[in-house]
A and B are shown apart, each in its own frame.
Chain A
Amino acid sequence: MSLDPKDRKWLEEMFDTYYDKVYAFLYARTGNTALAEDLASQTFVKIAESYRTYRREKGAVSTWVFTIALNEMRSHFRRLKGKETAALDEPLELPDSVDIESDFVRGETKKELLSLLSRLDERQRSAVTLKYYGELSNREIGKVLAISESNVSTILNRAIIKLKNLMEQCDEIAVFAYKSQEESK
């Protein structure tokens, strides 16, 4: 028996709503396009296999989807542990473009951001990426990470302060490097 048209429509709408967000979240966590695509695809395969057991009263779809995505990512890194280095250390792929200079700048900013994110602890990184790339509310993040909403707020505030401090340090180093270069001319 094939899918009920109502179920199919619901599934398609869910995919269209969440795929981009899940992908963005996974990319921000892994820094690798191909890996983010694989993990996003695996996430939705898991959803397809278990959507009949989903119950609205247990939580919103968004928290269910991102819990699966987070688990898929963690399982992937558990399998890789000891075999490969963290995905964030892998070189980033820059898209082909005529405007090489601006793409280079954009690529550098991406690298810088991913590097900054990798310096947060696991819970801070999850909270920040779920908030800004998964577009979840603090309440939804709390459900995914199994912590209270107020705890999410605290974690996010601390993560943002830490990221700002790291950014400032990067800027100071860049200014110092620039001055040194100028002086040596």
Chain B
Amino acid sequence: MSDQFEFNELIKSLNVTPDEEAKQKAKALFLQKAEEAEQTQTAEHKKTGSVFRKNRRSLFNFAAGMAAMLILTVGILTAYDPSFLTGSVSGGGDIVQYRMFPAGTETPVLDTAQKYSGELSVFHIPGADEDINSQFIKSDGAAFAEGFAYYVTQFGSKADTGKVENTVTKGKVLYVPVNRSDYKADYGNAVCCGEIVLLKASDKVLQKHGYLPCKGQTLNAKDYPVLAGILAPGAEQFTLPDLSGQSPVEGAVWCIAAEGDYPYTRPAGN
């Protein structure tokens, strides 16, 4: 313990703070270069645009040919298997996630599964740490449920703003619905194990995608080892928070992701 303390003290002794003048110069140069890059890209777009105009006719013919081929392929597949077309359509919109932003945010139009800058996520609090990592900073707002807190995404995708149907504002949070046919709980879909999300879907669909409704139920650690490792490391059983009846959106339920990666690196030995 004292060795670790001594080591940390030594490491901190370097205590390097950059010269403020050099930092401001670097910042000015950084923004200037970003401006230049933007101008270069705009010029290239204009150039590409003129090439497109010259070849508009042949591009139109190509697109028309591709569309005809697609219609023909779908027609043939449907003739062989009538459920092909209906199956693919009914598969969409199986699950709706209400993603969270601070109330007053301009309504974001969400088109990917990635986290967006400023988006709120609810995670289990990792011990005494304030922030999970540089990506998720703990919000100043109130705690969510016991042991959980809101975290703000720092450097996510940048969302366009616009009109989105069926958004809900309750208290300090804006809920924006996103329809998804496949929203499995994993890091690739920007949902971390132990994260609490607001979802509207049937119980069967929730289970299929790796989510558990938070109803205060007690679970065996061996059935959900990753989740247990986050909520109650070492325990044989653990209990989910009881959030039934607390949904801000009618028909939606608070669920916890039972699969996927940890949102943060757990300290060694825990």
Residues of A within 8 A of B (CB): 1-4, 6-8, 10-15, 17, 19-20, 23-24, 27-28, 33, 36-37, 40-41, 44-45, 47-52, 56-57, 60-62, 106, 109-110, 113-114, 132-133, 135-140, 149, 153, 157, 160, 163-164, 167
Which among A11, A41, A132, A149 is the interface contact of B26 at CB below 8 angstroms? A41
Flag whether B251 is at the interface (Cβ < 8 A). Answer: no
Contact: B7 with A15, CB < 8 Å?
A: no
Contact: B35 with A44, CB < 8 Å?
A: no
Contact: B37 with A52, CB < 8 Å?
A: yes
Asked if A135 meets B134 with Cβ closer than 8 Å, knowing A15-B27, A56-B115, the reply is yes
Which among B11, B27, B268 is the interface contact of A132 at CB below 8 angstroms? B11
In the complex, what distance in Å separates the CA atom of A14 from the CA atom of B3? 35
Residues of B within 8 A of A (CB): 3, 6-7, 10-11, 13-14, 16-19, 22-23, 25-27, 29-39, 41-42, 112, 114-115, 117, 133-135, 154-158, 264-265, 268
Centre residue among B11, B29, B36, B112 by max chain A CB count within 10 A? B11
Nearest CB of chain B from residue A95's CB, rounded to whole Å: 10
Which among A19, A48, A113, A136 is the interface contact of B18 at CB below 8 angstroms? A19
Contact: A139 with B155, CB < 8 Å?
A: no
With a cutoff of 8 Å between Cβ atoms, the chain A residues found around residue B23 in the complex are 19-20, 23
Contact: A48 with B37, CB < 8 Å?
A: yes
Asked if A45 meets B157 with Cβ closer than 8 Å, knowing A138-B265, A167-B10, the reply is no
Main secondary structure of the interface of A (DSSP, over half): helix
With a cutoff of 8 Å between Cβ atoms, the chain B residues found around residue A12 in the complex are 27, 31
Nearest CB of chain B from residue A75's CB, rounded to whole Å: 17
With a cutoff of 8 Å between Cβ atoms, the chain A residues found around residue B156 in the complex are 56
In the complex, what distance in Å separates the CA atom of A149 from the CA atom of B134? 17
With a cutoff of 8 Å between Cβ atoms, the chain A residues found around residue B10 in the complex are 109, 113, 167
Return the chain A residue nearest B161 by Cβ: A6
With a cutoff of 8 Å between Cβ atoms, the chain A residues found around residue B154 in the complex are 13, 17, 61
User: Can you offer 30 A-B residue contacts whose CB atoms are under 8 A?
Assistant: A2-B38, A3-B34, A7-B38, A10-B155, A14-B155, A15-B26, A15-B27, A19-B18, A19-B23, A19-B26, A24-B18, A27-B16, A33-B19, A36-B16, A40-B26, A44-B27, A45-B29, A50-B37, A51-B37, A56-B156, A56-B157, A62-B133, A62-B155, A106-B13, A114-B14, A135-B134, A137-B133, A139-B265, A140-B134, A167-B7
With a cutoff of 8 Å between Cβ atoms, the chain B residues found around residue A20 in the complex are 17-18, 23
Nearest CB of chain A from residue B173's CB, rounded to whole Å: 22
